Structure 1
């Protein structure tokens, strides 16, 4: 097997020597450059399997070299060495296309982990990427662009924030980024931040030591440790309490965590992905989400399109979902009649792909025969253009005013009770799913259910 080569770019001879010794002990060949000009010349002679570059060079900076490699040698991963605490520099490097960064003074164990991940990425790139869509079904331009972005982001270790409406498939996207990257053989740990009580959040993420609080009868590893060597996916990250946001920010910046009750910090080795259906910028403006954490997790943003933005994907998507549902039920999948497909494409889909799956599952359970008709779907085409409906709106407004009957709070409670009840029925009283579909936190849903007498905790 051909030995791997690493290009080291640093103007300090001592740093170059330390890196050369460490990498040679890993069985790697090294070539070294003291500045940007020498590095460009060595790249032209032969592309390495990995490049390690200091951020500050006598005739430029590491960002310039990252950009050059991205343009002329896109198959070569490049990692940047930054000064301790230089968060802005690290973020700039990742945005420019760096695979990862490491801070000075360089900890050798972290360096070895980074190098092994980068070389594994290069090996996967040479073998080519499989054609499996990983659950992302559709061939519209929006979906093709999303897949291209996923393939590019999989080659980086930069934190990615995935945003989109509820039910669009944000976790599917996160899993695909993980599976196509160098950490694919490691664990993928997904956590819904809105489903963990605030008082348990720190222990769940960072772990705790025995005796650190009432009920801590033994040491427990947290989700950061569980995701070591792999990917940690924080879903509904906007639901994190502000106190926890501070601790998460430090864990990301320092790449260390401190279990509850421990006096020692532990290094972490994770790829961080996050998601929310909320407008995170709006949450920052409303001071419900820290701006510094926003910039740290949103190094690269990735939008998952709503289903109504890719209507041409519905026929294939619906057919695939029907086949999957029918297979789970142990029956043959029926055929969607053209009128049924038209009905689906006329619908607004506030719940997106998740809602489409629920609609098809219900239709399949109730329908008879080898075809699904438009009526089997039990859908009304969503109103798209309200023009010419002023008279109906005035009547609706008058009816609503009469329904209030001097008791606005009671009327609003009745509406909320109806909406919450419908959501819980749709998700078979799974509160986490219902809260996600409604765009509220699990704690908020629990409070509302208790207030409105819908709690079924018994």
Structure 2
């Protein structure tokens, strides 16, 4: 089947015009994308949105038609609906990879389920997005897919190689991180414990003009206050009992590079004052010294705590907060990027095999489904721990569902406290209203039976980005 049989001539003209006017602005370089959906209305909606971003869009209304078109065109990526009459999205994915193994395929579905996501991940889907389609998540995933298929992998910097993801949310966050990296401003990385805040901080350092300098991490919550002070600021011989020689603290050691202050919320108030002074004056005075040392470094801080609440409780200085929080990056918990779970599990399995020089083990399909169903309160750190534990206990090459189940906390341990459960419900409820109203705060507040001011406070308390919902489209 020829391309002219499947693409409206007017649509082709619009595509050419859009690619000329938009590709230079959006960095898409007019790359070709094949979109497959048996819902003509949604197909046209996606086509228009991608054209506005400068992509050359080819449309197919079935998997069979898409395969015919692939004999005529060479798209940088494919976007396909999951549930279609005849050949569904997963069958299409399998057929595509038989002839074009490296062509990225993004699956869209309104019927997303854990088995679907697991199966898609095992078949090599690039991203698995649910309807209503979030415009920014789609664009972010598509941009990454086009880079991979555009033979640009060797040209890309290795600045974020340690971030293992196919999540649209993470792609968007890493794009923000790369922009921030070039500005040399202070960054506050927020997220639950175990989400990979240090990896993001190091990626920012690697992408910054300071990448040739040192990256020095320290966990402010893991060191007693008196030791933390000497570790950060250094000391001179005789400054205190046991100070038998001069020691350059971490500020001096980070000179020319980046100092990463993990769990900054646990830093004692007395040290917060000293930290603020160093940030303002760019000078540090070691303990027992009368002289200051000039330092030129970037500070990236991170915490799992709500620092606004710590300020209200008198446990964190407001002036230091604003000094550190020039730009903030919020890492999603693993429960919000479940498409990454198979990817992370396989990454950990390969690492273990390489370190132990033993054959690679794998998760059984049912074991992978169980991992996808679990909520992972300890996030990636907990997932890594489980993989290491199950590998050690597995006598064969396939890790079973039973072994994974026995390695997870019991059901009684998984029950959240009432306060936490209420918070999760409230956050999910507000997100649902914002989806229904396309991010319209007054309309959402009216549905919730709250005044606009109170509703906005709830949105702010949960750190919900209203703009994300303004770009969501309704299911067709």
Q: Does 1:138 align with 2:165?
A: yes
Give 1:171's match in structure 2, choosing from 194, 198, 211: 198
Report the Cα distance in structure 2 between the residues aligned to 1:337 and 1:292, rounded to whole angstroms. 52
Equivalent pair of 1:129/1:180 in contact (CA under 8 Å): no
Bigger mean CA deviation after superposition, 292-301 or 149-158: 149-158
Residues 120-144 of structure 1: CA deviation (Å, up to 9, x unaligned): xxxxxxx964256322111111111
Q: Does 1:332 align with 2:368?
A: no
Report the Cα distance in structure 2 between the residues aligned to 1:133 and 1:223, rounded to whole angstroms. 24
Partner of 1:259: 286
Q: Does 1:289 align with 2:289?
A: no
The answer for unaligned runs of 5 or more in structure 1 is: 1-126, 391-458
Report the Cα distance in structure 1 between the residues aligned to 2:252 and 2:265, rounded to whole angstroms. 22
Partner of 1:303: 330
Q: CA deviation at 1:338?
A: 1.5
Equivalent pair of 2:217/2:262 in contact (CA under 8 Å): yes
Partner of 1:197: 224
Query: 1:275 aligns to what SS in structure 2?
Result: strand
Q: CA deviation at 1:330?
A: 1.8
Q: Does 1:273 align with 2:314?
A: no
Partner of 2:430: none
Residues 157-215 of structure 1: CA deviation (Å, up to 9, x unaligned): 10101111111111111111111111111111111111222122222111112222222
Report the Cα distance in structure 2 between the residues aligned to 1:149 and 1:172, rounded to whole angstroms. 15
Q: CA deviation at 1:274?
A: 0.7
Query: 1:260 aligns to what SS in structure 2?
Result: coil
Report the Cα distance in structure 2 between the residues aligned to 1:135 and 1:256, rounded to whole angstroms. 32
Query: 2:221 aligns to what SS in structure 1?
Result: helix
Partner of 2:175: 148
Q: CA deviation at 1:380?
A: 6.2
Residues paired across the two proteins, number? 261
Q: CA deviation at 1:238?
A: 0.9
Residues 27-51 of structure 1: CA deviation (Å, up to 9, x unaligned): xxxxxxxxxxxxxxxxxxxxxxxxx
Query: 1:195 aligns to what SS in structure 2?
Result: coil
Bigger mean CA deviation after superposition, 307-316 or 322-331: 322-331
Partner of 1:369: 396
Residues 280-320 of structure 1: CA deviation (Å, up to 9, x unaligned): 11111111000100110111111111000011111111111
Give 2:244's match in structure 1, choosing from 217, 225, 237: 217
- Backbone CA RMSD of aligned residues: 2.2
Give 2:346's match in structure 1, choosing from 316, 319, 332: 319
Q: Does 1:348 align with 2:375?
A: yes
Partner of 2:139: none
Q: CA deviation at 1:341?
A: 1.2
Equivalent pair of 1:347/1:380 in contact (CA under 8 Å): no
Equivalent pair of 1:160/1:274 in contact (CA under 8 Å): yes
Residues 42-88 of structure 1: CA deviation (Å, up to 9, x unaligned): xxxxxxxxxxxxxxxxxxxxxxxxxxxxxxxxxxxxxxxxxxxxxxx
Equivalent pair of 2:345/2:383 in contact (CA under 8 Å): yes
Residues 104-153 of structure 1: CA deviation (Å, up to 9, x unaligned): xxxxxxxxxxxxxxxxxxxxxxx964256322111111111121112111
Report the Cα distance in structure 2 between the residues aligned to 1:376 and 1:385, rounded to whole angstroms. 18
Partner of 1:247: 274
Equivalent pair of 1:186/1:230 in contact (CA under 8 Å): yes
Give 1:206's match in structure 2, choosing from 222, 228, 233: 233
Report the Cα distance in structure 2 between the residues aligned to 1:206 and 1:171, rounded to whole angstroms. 21
Q: CA deviation at 1:368?
A: 2.3
Q: CA deviation at 1:370?
A: 2.0
Report the Cα distance in structure 2 between the residues aligned to 1:325 and 1:175, rounded to whole angstroms. 23
Change (3 A) 1:385 1:364: closer
Equivalent pair of 1:348/1:381 in contact (CA under 8 Å): no
Partner of 1:122: none
Report the Cα distance in structure 1 between the residues aligned to 2:209 and 2:411, rounded to whole angstroms. 43
Equivalent pair of 2:159/2:203 in contact (CA under 8 Å): no
Report the Cα distance in structure 1 between the residues aligned to 2:247 and 2:395, rounded to whole angstroms. 52
Report the Cα distance in structure 1 between the residues aligned to 2:382 and 2:246, rounded to whole angstroms. 41
The answer for unaligned runs of 5 or more in structure 2 is: 1-153, 419-476
Report the Cα distance in structure 2 between the residues aligned to 1:261 and 1:366, rounded to whole angstroms. 52
Partner of 2:91: none
Report the Cα distance in structure 1 between the residues aligned to 2:243 and 2:397, rounded to whole angstroms. 56
Equivalent pair of 2:261/2:301 in contact (CA under 8 Å): yes
